[in-house]
Amino acid sequence: MGGIGLGATLSLGALLAADISGSNAWSGMAATMSTLGAAAIAVPLARLARARGRRISLSTGAIVAGAGAVLAITAAAVSSFVLLLVSLLMLGAGQAVNLQSRFAATDLARDRSRARDLSIVVWSTTIGAVLGPNLFEPGEVVGAFLGLPPLTGAFTFSVAAQAGAALIFAIGLRPDPLLTALEREAAGTSSGQPPIEDSPAGTSTDAIPPTTTAPARTARVSAPKPKGGLTILRGNPAARYAVAVVALSHATMVAVMSMTPVHLYEHGATLSVVGFTISLHIAGMYALSPVFGWLADSAGRIPVIVAGQLVLLAALAVAYFGAASTIMVGVSLILLGLGWSASIVSGSALVAESVPVPERPAVQGISDMSMSLAGAVGGALAGPILVAIGYSGLGLSTMAAVGVVLVWTALRPRTPAVSTQ
């Protein structure tokens, strides 16, 4: 639902920004403001999750995004560019919710299935990514029927989808997975019992009911004040590494992907070819994520991260040598999506399991904020690099981020994984 709600709005936001401002130079502000909004709300949503649970946090974020869609329609009606920028910031909450929803799948997951469970949530984004852009024309029909300004009809679908997502979170996340995990952690610590993950092989945790000795509110009150995400990262090398993998992999992908339409169009590709190439890239990002989740659970997080970085490196090499060929650029973007998927799925699973349960929300919030900011920086730097040294130069220079991850992987301390529920 979140993907469907947001898939149509980024492109329409760019068109609205150009239309209301009167200059195409401002069209890029749609993606920039939305990304900054996702980064800004990531940590507050994580804190809300730690205090009130995933159900309240995710549904609140979806409501904020829906309100942003309403504000975008209002901004178009009154021709206010500033109001449009604010609405795009609020729509960024939807991106933050989509990111944090993947962590909700890990709260009660077993170690041997955590990456796979996370990857299924990532995979579901494919539906929204495919359907969203196809809602442009139906949205205009609905908008005309409702008397809305041009280019705003699809935002009505965003409002409905975000409202639906909030309702699903509010109803479906019962019992709340994070609060249940915190209860079990608190009960296990106080009783001296091993965490659920340490149950004998073949014993299903599904048969173990949530702890009833203390309600969730008692568990939260009695728990010590949680540390901040940055404080945790300073003392946890494994968490720092995992957050860096996610952020740098995302920056690599965004930098190349964001400039590919410009490069192709300037070299004579039609809009349909550009759209098809980006669709192949999106398919590479999401369609095989369950496969990478299964590999991360069976082969280990680090091998899949390394494999993902090598695929990213191959994608950048193809971009460097094949910049003049539309087919080679398409191959590069497919590989770019696959490398991103492997790195993000395995890296996100590592983020979740690198810290104890009570510290997860804070670190996950910092990870999502870093991921969004890294994407914004990557996209911002990609434009000047493209102008200065071309698409081949962009592929070559972006290899630096992949190199950082590979060197960090080779030099990182071999610390054992934190035992988690």
Domain ranges for the chain, please list them: 2-174, 229-411
User: For residue 149, what is the DSSP state?
Assistant: P
Unique residue bearing structure tokens 């979140």:
2
Q: Output the pLDDT for position 418.
A: 56
At 336-347, the pLDDT tens digits run: 999 999 999 999
At position 157, the amino acid (one-letter code) is: F
Distance, CA of 68 to CA of 161 (rounded, Å): 13
Distance, CA of 404 to CA of 385 (rounded, Å): 19
Q: Output the pLDDT for position 367.
A: 92
At 35-74, the pLDDT tens digits run: 889 899 999 999 999 899 999 999 999 999 999 999 999 9
Is there a contact between 296 and 417 (Cβ–Cβ < 8 Å)? no
Point out the residues of the chain with pLDDT beneath 70. Answer: 5-11, 24-25, 27-28, 129-130, 132-134, 189-226, 271, 414-421
Fold identical between 2-174 and 229-411?
yes
Q: Output the pLDDT for position 416.
A: 55
At position 78, the amino acid (one-letter code) is: V
State which CATH number among 1.20.1250.20, 1.10.287.130, 2.60.120.10, 3.10.290.10 fits the domain covering 2-174: 1.20.1250.20
Question: What dihedral do alpha carbons 244, 61, 361, 285 form, nearest 10°?
Answer: -40
Q: Output the pLDDT for position 27.
A: 66
Buried b (16+ CB within 10 A) or exposed e, 394-416: bbbbbbebbeebbeebeeeeeee
Q: Output the pLDDT for position 396.
A: 94
pTM: 0.78
User: For residue 112, what is the DSSP state?
Assistant: G
Q: What is the DSSP string of 199-230?
A: SPTT--GGGSPPP-SS-HHHHHHHSPPPPPHH
Angle ∠(289,295,298) on CA atoms, nearest 5: 145
Is there a contact between 260 and 278 (Cβ–Cβ < 8 Å)? yes
Quote the CATH superfamily of domain 229-411: MFS general substrate transporter like domains (1.20.1250.20)
